[in-house]
A and B are shown apart, each in its own frame.
Chain A
Amino acid sequence: MRLFVESPAVLWWMLGALVAVALHLLARPRADARAWASVRFLEATPLSLRRWATLRDPSLLAARVALVCLAALAFAGPVVVTPSREQAARLQTARAVVSDGGGDMVDEERRGAVANAVFVRPSLRDAVDEAAQWLAQQSAFRREVVIVSSFRRGRVDASAFTAVGAGVGVRLVRVAGDPPLSQRELAVAVRVPVTSSGTGVDGAIRAGAGIHVPNDSEYSVQADTNDGGVPIAEEDEDDPDAPWPVSTIQVVDHTGRWTRQIERWSFASTHTERQLLGSTPMTPLPLSIEARAVTGSVAPEDGQAALHGEAAQGLRLPPSGLLGATVYQWDGRPEALTAALENAATLPVGQWEPDQMTDAELRAFEREPAPEGMPDMSGLSDRRWFWTAVLLLMTVETWLRGRSS
């Protein structure tokens, strides 16, 4: 068991005990008054100086000194740290519940799925940043961020937790069910297995080798299957530079419960894309690498451009015949694009990419609080006990003073 104080500077007030000692020595009466029958035969004598050097009423002086010291200690906010108290303080947790206030969570909150949101921001990253700032100001020993969201793909990634301290725990709570209709159709990614039949490009598409396509090379790929609604078109042999044909395809979402006809599916329309997708007559099916932004200010076209623009420089594609990847809420960072592609690469070929992050992905972000140092127990101040002791000492001091006088 030990003792610490909330305001150590106040302990300097204990020097007031010196004042108490000085007053005790200086303020004592010249001599005890004693009633006497008659002073007729008494003659005044000079009082001995030794009297001043003799400590009188040591118990009273001790009580006064203890009174001053105890009062200073009480003002300083003393906390008696017992093992049980320390253990309890170590288990004390400040919890910031972050409710995703953007995207579909707006609807979720509107319909009561989210009961209490402390930090509700359109951007989950902003909310986490604010939560981290708030947690930094808290005195609890354990800190953790609880993020409540539907965790649609793209809503959260590792970069969202850069502001969260190392010892702060992260807990992700998934809420909400199916995405809204308008979101679901955009969450569909189309992919087909591809094989390479390219010419003039060394290394074309190989399983496990990834795709690296120089801008000015000619390249072609061939799909093994036609599952997944990928349009099959033939190139106009007479006019190689003519736009790629547009066909109507059927898209089925990953739940299989919803289908929709996309009337006009436009494959690559630029020269660069044509190079990328293959332009030889022998290419029955072009490779399509698309990047689409589902929500936010980024249009699907922007994502497509980004894939072939500066953001794609040095981009390493996953080692599979990836044809499509979806970037949700893409904010222009290549990392987001890479993450989307890597995620898409993990999916079985020919399957729909889930539009929500998997539990395994979420677990990668979660961590337990790992506090360091001593817990803050300033809230456990024992001031009241010390003030009670001060009052008791005042009573003792009064009693001693009365007895000495």
Chain B
Amino acid sequence: MLEVPRLPHDLLWVARHLSSTLRMGWHRSTRIGGTAEFSHLRAYRPGDDLTHIDWKTSARTDRLLTKVFRMAAAGDALLVLDVSRSMGWGHKLPLLRTTAAVLAALVIEQGDAAGWLVVDSDLRRRLFPVRGGAFYLSGLVAGLSRLDATGTTDTAALLAAAGHTLVRRSSVLILSDFYDDDRMLPVMRHLAGQGHEIVAVHVLTPEEQTLPAAGAAEYVDEETGQRVSLEHGRARAAVTQRVATWRSGLERAIRCSGGDYVHVSTVPTLTRDLELWLRKREARG
């Protein structure tokens, strides 16, 4: 089982390992970005993907014809990272780093470019430009390992900054806990309308979804300092239900806004979470 990487080279190793695992197990579906558009038909060659065979035309012409696609959009991906204080709680920040590194490795190792963008509490952007190459990947991952959690969550500002940064259609993968989802969705719709592929990576640990068994406690919000006193036995079921409802509603709203949704909860289960997401993504075509 993978543990939370603590050093930059650990993070790079984990990212490459998980990325290769994903590509080996489900190679076709690992392609992120690069929305394909039909170009033309050609004769079937052994080894072609059977799903790309145009069966209707083949039946009419009585020979197997394969559809050839061209990339309608570039395969570049911009990882938009929420590094607010709420993301610094528990193991969320290492999970965020690892997830971002794995996704960047997936993109770069498939020959495309990747970069990341962070907006701090003073709305100052920190951009790791979108580029490709294995050497660039190591620098990108090293930059990820130096991120700290500060400020408050503002995913709307993050997406807006991503919109200003991108000059061509790309994939925008925003990694956040989305506790301010109400303001994010309009911006997401706007970006999707501009032709960007939006993927919302929901970083939410199991502890946040179910209260730990700790008796009575006073919970203090990491970002606002707000305090709520409750007793575990009485509140756990309600909190669990409330978070589950919120998650499903958020997923629905993101999809309705033209985005995709994936939930990651822990580093050890990251591969499984991403693989499930890629399978569903593949199934949706």
A30 in contact (CB, < 8 A): yes
Q: In angstroms, how far is the closest chain A Cβ from the Cβ of B154? A: 14
- Which residues from chain A contact B230 at a C-beta distance below 8 Å? 42-45
Tell me if B262 is interfacial: C-beta within 8 Å of chain A.
Answer: no
Check A41–B89 contact: CB distance below 8 A. no
Question: A43–B235 contact, CB under 8 A?
Answer: yes
User: Does B248 lie at the interface of the complex (its beta carbon under 8 Å from any beta carbon of A)?
Assistant: no
CB distance from A332 to the nearest CB of B (A): 94
The answer for the CA separation of A237 and B89 in the assembled complex, in Å, is 141
**Docked CA distance A34–B238 (Å):** 19
User: B54 near A: Cβ within 8 Å?
Assistant: no
Contact string against B for A residues 10-52, beta-carbon threshold 8 Å, 1 for contact and 0 otherwise: 0000000000000000000111111111111111111110010
Which residue of chain B is the closest to A47 with respect to CB atoms? B216
Interface contact B218-A37, CB-CB below 8 Å: no
B177 contacts the other chain (CB 8 A): yes
Known contacts A30-B218, A31-B216, A32-B217; A37 and B229 CB within 8 A of each other: no
Residues in B183-231 with C-beta less than 8 Å from chain A:
205, 208, 211, 214-224, 226-231
Summarize B's interface: helix, strand, loop or mixed.
mixed
Given A32-B217, A37-B208, A41-B239, A47:B222 Cβ within 8 A: no
Size of the B side of the interface (Cβ < 8 Å), in residues, is 35
Inter-chain CA distance A21–B37, complex, in Å, is: 77
The answer to whether A34 touches B242 (Cβ under 8 A) is no
Query: Does B92 interact with chain A (Cβ within 8 Å)?
Result: yes
Q: Looking at the complex, which one of A29, A33, A51 makes contact with B220 (CB distance below 8 Å)?
A: A33
Q: Chain B, 234-254, contact with A by CB distance < 8 Å: what is the 0/1 string? A: 110011001100100000000
List the count of A-B residue pairs having beta carbons below 8 Å apart.
Answer: 92
Nearest CB in chain B: distance from A146 CB, A: 75
- The answer to whether A42 touches B89, judged by C-beta atoms less than 8 angstroms apart, is no
Per-position binary interface string of chain B over residues 255-273, scored 1 when its CB falls under 8 Å from any chain A CB and 0 otherwise: 0000000000000000000
Asked whether B228 lies within 8 Å of A43 as measured between CB atoms, the reply is yes
Pair A38/B177 contact, Cβ less than 8 Å: yes
Q: Is B179's CB within 8 Å of the partner chain A?
A: yes
Given A31-B218, A38-B86: A44 and B228 within 8 A (CB)?
A: yes
Given A31-B216, A32-B216, A44-B230, do A38 and B239 touch, yes or no (CB 8 Å)?
Answer: no
B90 touches A51 (CB 8 A): no
Given contacts A45-B234, A47-B231, A38 and B218 within 8 Å (CB-CB): no
Contact of A39 with B219 at beta-carbon distance under 8 Å, contacts A45-B231, A45-B234, A48-B231 already known: yes
- In Å, the complex CA distance between A33 and B211 comes to 14
CA distance A6 to B133 in the complex (A): 85
The answer to whether A41 and B246 touch across the interface, beta carbons within 8 angstroms, is yes
- Complex Cα gap A30–B89 (Å): 23
Please measure, in the bound complex, the distance between the C-alpha atom of A48 and the C-alpha atom of B90, giving whole angstroms: 27
The distance in angstroms between the C-alpha atoms of A43 and B242, with both chains bound, is 10
Q: Roughly how many angstroms separate A51 CA and B230 CA in the complex, as a whole number?
A: 12
A window 38-84: CB within 8 A of B: 38-48, 51
Identity of the chain A residue whose Cβ is nearest the Cβ of B230 in the assembled complex: A45
Asked whether, in the complex, the Cβ of A33 is within 8 Å of the Cβ of B217, the reply is yes
B residues in contact with A46, CB < 8 Å: 231, 234
Please state if A47 and B219 are interface contacts (CB–CB under 8 Å).
Answer: no
Which one of A32, A37, A44, A51 lies within 8 Å of B86 (CB-CB)? A37
* Minimum distance in angstroms from B213 CB to a CB of chain A: 12
Q: Can you name the residue of chain A whose Cβ is closest to the Cβ of B223?
A: A38
Q: How far is the CB of A390 from chain B (nearest CB, A)?
A: 33
The one of A30, A34, A51 in contact with B219, judged by C-beta atoms closer than 8 angstroms, is: A34
Assembled-state Cα–Cα distance A40/B218 (Å) = 14
- Which residues of chain A are within 8 angstroms of B233 by Cβ–Cβ distance? 48
CB-based contact B231/A32 at 8 Å: no
Q: Is the CB of A34 within 8 A of B222?
A: no
Q: Which chain A residue has the least Cβ–Cβ distance from B208?
A: A37
A47–B219 Cα distance when bound, in Å, is: 13
* Smallest beta-carbon distance B97→chain A, Å: 16
Does B221 contact A48, Cβ atoms closer than 8 Å? no
Contact between B215 and A34, CB atoms less than 8 A apart = no
Q: Bound complex: CA of A109 vs CA of B214, how far in Å?
A: 87
The residue of chain B having its C-beta at the shortest distance from the C-beta of A36 within the complex is B219
A37-B205, A37-B222 given; 12 more Cβ-contact pairs under 8 Å: A32-B216, A33-B217, A33-B227, A34-B214, A34-B220, A38-B179, A39-B219, A39-B224, A42-B228, A43-B235, A44-B228, A46-B231
Subset of 14 A-B contacts with CB under 8 Å: A31-B218, A33-B227, A35-B220, A39-B224, A39-B226, A39-B227, A42-B211, A43-B235, A44-B229, A45-B234, A45-B235, A46-B231, A46-B234, A48-B234
Q: Which chain B residues have a beta carbon within 8 Å of chain A's beta carbons?
A: 86-87, 89-90, 92, 177, 179, 205, 208, 211, 214-224, 226-231, 233-235, 238-239, 242-243, 246
Q: Which residues of A contact B (CB under 8 A)?
A: 29-48, 51
